[in-house]
Chain A
């Protein structure tokens, strides 16, 4: 048991900062992101500490994605009450949680004025619809395969490919526009 706790400690230490960054990009709030990571750690320890170590990583990110999705659902419910009767248009039919504006709203000038290239990139990632963002971060940053990402996000591999493709398209458009606007061509 003591050995298991040490391994859990090492594992959690290895993913906590990245998990926090993922949560911050999804919820745009440090305090909420910390709560999400803490709840994720709690759930992993409570429910899956006895599982083989190689399962911890996908389980951890599954719980994290669920926590983020739950957070957005709660926000949407609150938003729904305050915007009663107003029609909302979503970016995608299969994105049940859509809380951010599309990247089309970001002009190259605004990005160029405020950020360097990496910061602009991060800002574009932050503005992606939540499913696309989760998919992009798991695939590109965590290096998960399509199958692993599908398992973590509880969607089909086809959905993963679609989300990822759309995310990459938006990033390409935004970053190309930023390059043109900032004279980096």
Chain B
């Protein structure tokens, strides 16, 4: 090399030196880089669904469906049928005590239905007796 290094020479030599150093990176570092790449790519891969969420969602959906059917079959005793979304929101906001109240309310409604059935049965029995007596 008789002349001083020109800019172009310098760039070529620098590039060669850098390429050489890239090739000399040890396997341990390459393995670490591959591991880092896998970790990074794991974020891009679609995540598997969690196992615990499925039964919880199924239970919640069943409850909402059952309550929806129950409300719908109450007829005139229910003032206005709840929209399913409103019902879900309402149920989602209930705490443990409120759930107990819902159970109590359900029981009270059932009880009143039983009582009214009993009363109607008694009345029909009395009517039958009256009618039977009138005939005799």
Contact = CB atoms under 8 A, between A and B. Distances in A.
B36 A34 contact: yes
A17 B22 contact: yes
A144 interface: no
The interface size bin for chain A is 35 or more
Interface of B is mostly: helix
Interface string B30-41: 101110110111
Interface in A123-171: 125, 136-137, 140-141, 168, 171
B44 interface: yes
Given A121-B13, A179-B5, A21 B37 contact: no
Nearest to B19: A141
B37 A185 contact: no
Given A5-B41, A38-B39, A172-B10, A21 B17 contact: no
A42 B5 contact: no
B7 A168 contact: yes
Interface residues of B, number: 32
A17 B41 contact: no
A184 B2 CA distance: 8
A182 B106 CA distance: 98
B93 to A, nearest CB: 34
Nearest to B20: A118
A184 B1 CA distance: 6
7 contacts: A9-B37, A13-B34, A17-B29, A21-B18, A21-B25, A168-B7, A176-B4
